[in-house]
Amino acid sequence: MTSPSPAVPAIYVALSDAADRDLVADWARAQGAEAIRVADADTALERALESGRATLLVIDAEAARAALVEARTLIAVSEHPIALLLAADAADWPQLAVSEVDAIEPIRRPLDLAELDWRARRLLQDDGTWRSASGSRDRLAAAVRLLDPSDQPVTTVLDRLRASVPASGVAIARWRGDGDDLFDAVELARVGQGQPVWDEIRRALANGEPMVVGTSLRSAAMSGLVVGLRIAALAAVPILASDASQKGAIVAWSASEWPRDHAVGELLGIAAGRLAIEFELMRLRERSRHQRSRDALTRLANRAQFNEDLEELVRAARENAERFAVLLVNLDRFKTINEAYGQSLADRVLIESARRIRQAVRGTDLVARYAGDEFAVCLRDLRARGDAEAVAGKLRATLAEPFAIGASEVRVTASVGICHFPDEGSHAEDLVRQADIALRAGKSLGVDQTHVYVADLRESRRERAALESRLREAEARGELRLHFQPQVSARDEDVIGVEALVRWEHPDLGMVSPGAFIPLAEESGLIVPIGRWVLFEACRQMREWQRQFGLPLRIAVNLSAVQLGRRELVADVTSALVESGLPPETLELEVTESVSVKRIPHLIESLEALRSLGCQIAIDDFGTGQSSLDYIRRFPADRIKIDQVFVRNIGVDPDDEAIVRATIGMAHSLGRQVVAEGVEYEQHVTFLRDQGCDELQGFLFCRPLPPALIGELLAERERLYATRS
């Protein structure tokens, strides 16, 4: 019989098999202790905390799984050692790998006396006391801070972890079906040189158990990450819900090996328990918010949500020079359907109408039920005013198809009112109000109509003349600004260049949308001096960054059709390069695909001359200009930029995905690189990487920023790379 353990524990048993319970009782008596049977895992934990002495729990793994997060937390903060043996069938054994820093051991069922004695002794330290996470005052204090029941948002937990864990960095992820929430994951992505680090971590934690890895402690699932990230140690702990489903993860990494008594796993586990509660609260809040934002009948966004989304879109469109249109779609004489067929059938017509409207537009367009028989649609990224009218016709046609509901066939028509941003409205409420004016004006002429809002012609001309007058003075008064949007490598997401975007900040009008003043500048000829200022200022600023950070960053500058038609263009570019000292190969000049060789004499010759200077040429907004393949082949370009209208529909529209895939293949076959604009989601990045896209640009990485903030971004990049080296 085995000799007594140096420290006799209190032993609590929650096992369903009678033979296993008897075996534990026999082993306990041999240790001079008593195995006390309890009803379940929760009771065992309660007794362990109340016992006031070293405690061993022997529990069925199935019963303990739901309480495992709480068990780790209690073990970590207990004032006396608590150890846990989890009993599981051989088939479940692979699911029970546990971190070596936990005071937890798995044991196979049916229990074997020799294995029970061996595993229990593994929980003993060299000095004969039970191994536990509560041995350090510092760790206990850190645990208490992490378990503070006061309101702790994720960022607060993150800050407290940084103060408690001996790590170079800590990051948190929350898994969600529609895209993950990542807290400080950008830093982890930089450590990982753009590798899909979180994907690897998620796979490694698939069994719900934590992993702690260093160069001397290898895990098949995680050691590759340690080597790939060029770090010495990494710990990853899943955040588990009460049903044991994985809701996220906490990751800590270190440039050096973990200290011998690091307890990183325990502290991350404690934080995981706290965050599991926070994530559940977040989920409930989001579900409540989602329910409040949805129309109960059609499940579309409701009026309030549409207005909120539209305001956000207006703000973004002012930055991006995006043009869009708001459509109000009204079912004609719907009241008669309600009266003739009853509310139940009328509701089914509304549900089917909502489905048809949603299917008739792109996934990135906004759709809402705005009133009883009225729907609101926002069409994004419009290239021409006629596009909105074409979609309105499509909506009227699809709604005119008979509704077969039960034994009844119902026919309806629809009327549509349209208002364009920024031409007829620059604020969300104005756009909706003016679309409604257009709708009512159309219905006054009869049903089944599309009507576009047009501002009073005389007033419109006066406003346009006043805006042009102010624009003429903008450069002299220093009202023009350059913002810059980073472009990153698809391989490692490192910054390789920026695109220069002009902004007009008027003292009275505020920030004027490029969509409002750029077309006016082109029509009036003001685009020539404005474009020249942008070219010279962009080259000057980029050369300053190159000297400051020692990076061969590229600056992209847009050229308008008016500029391309001027013979002075090549001389202007040459002067900008000479004055700034910018290396020509780091200047990229962007030309929209819609620019016509026939309308602009000597276009190809001008572009060839610019390339002979050493500059690069990019075809912008590719996919929207209906160019022939022969035209693209002959066009002297180094790079093709896929228009954001296609990129935004990745994961939504298979046709647009096919266009992106074909464009990348065609560009590479012609020896051109590819940049994708409008990258907003991780799903976009994954698809574009898989297709071999070279460079990425979009809000997922960074919005357009003023020069000072771009400088800060580059300085932060320099600091991180210096730390890694």
Q: What are the DSSP calls for 152-207, one per residue?
A: --HHHHHHHHHHHS--SEEEEEE--TT--EEESHHHHHHHTTT--HHHHHHHHTTT
Q: Could you give the 3-state DSSP secondary structure of residue 114?
A: helix
In one-letter notation, the amino acid at residue 718 is: E
Closest of 555, 625, 630, 620 to residue 591, by C-alpha: 620
pLDDT (0 to 100) of residue 81: 75
Task: Centre a 10 Å sphere on the Cβ of residue 71 and count the other Cβ atoms it contains.
Answer: 27
At residue 67 the predicted structure's pLDDT band, cuts being 50, 70 and 90, is low
How is residue 545 written in tokens?
Answer: 């960054």
pLDDT (0 to 100) of residue 629: 67
Place of tokens 């308008």: 560
Residue 14 confidence (pLDDT) above 50: yes
**Over the stretch 330-379, which tens digit does the pLDDT of each residue have?**
999 888 888 888 888 889 999 999 999 999 998 889 999 998 899 999 99
At residue 149 the predicted structure's pLDDT band, cuts being 50, 70 and 90, is very low
At residue 172 the predicted structure's pLDDT band, cuts being 50, 70 and 90, is confident
Residue 327 confidence (pLDDT) above 50: yes
pLDDT (0 to 100) of residue 598: 56
Closest of 688, 692, 662 to residue 676, by C-alpha: 688
**Over the stretch 510-555, which tens digit does the pLDDT of each residue have?**
777 777 788 888 888 889 999 999 999 999 999 999 999 999 999 9
Kindly report the average pLDDT of the chain as a whole number: 79
Residue 618 confidence (pLDDT) above 70: yes
HSE (side-chain half, CA atoms, 13 Å) at 693: 29
The answer to whether 489 touches 713, Cβ cutoff 8 Å, is: no
At residue 683 the predicted structure's pLDDT band, cuts being 50, 70 and 90, is confident
Q: How far apart are CA 646 and CA 659, in angstroms?
A: 7
Cis amide leading into 259 (omega within 30): no
Q: How far apart are CA 60 and CA 64, in angstroms?
A: 6
pLDDT (0 to 100) of residue 68: 61
Cis amide leading into 584 (omega within 30): no
At residue 326 the predicted structure's pLDDT band, cuts being 50, 70 and 90, is very high
At residue 153 the predicted structure's pLDDT band, cuts being 50, 70 and 90, is low
Residue 34 confidence (pLDDT) above 50: yes
Place of tokens 């001389």: 571
Place of tokens 């038609």: 565
Residue 458 confidence (pLDDT) above 60: no
Place of tokens 């008669």: 336
The CA dihedral of 359, 653, 493, 689, to the nearest 10 degrees, is 160
Q: How far apart are CA 126 and CA 339, in angstroms?
A: 85
pLDDT (0 to 100) of residue 290: 64
CB-based contacts of 638, cutoff 8 Å, min separation 6 = 588, 611, 616, 617, 618, 672, 673
Percent of the chain topping pLDDT 70: 76
Which of the listed ranges 180-194, 233-247, 321-335 does the model predict with the highest average pLDDT?
321-335
Percent of the chain topping pLDDT 90: 26
Task: Tell me the average pLDDT across 561-589.
Answer: 93
Range with the poorest average pLDDT among 8-22, 119-133, 433-447, 548-562? 119-133
pLDDT (0 to 100) of residue 126: 38
**Over the stretch 210-250, which tens digit does the pLDDT of each residue have?**
776 664 444 445 555 555 566 777 788 888 876 777 888 88
Residue 460 confidence (pLDDT) above 70: no
pLDDT (0 to 100) of residue 633: 75
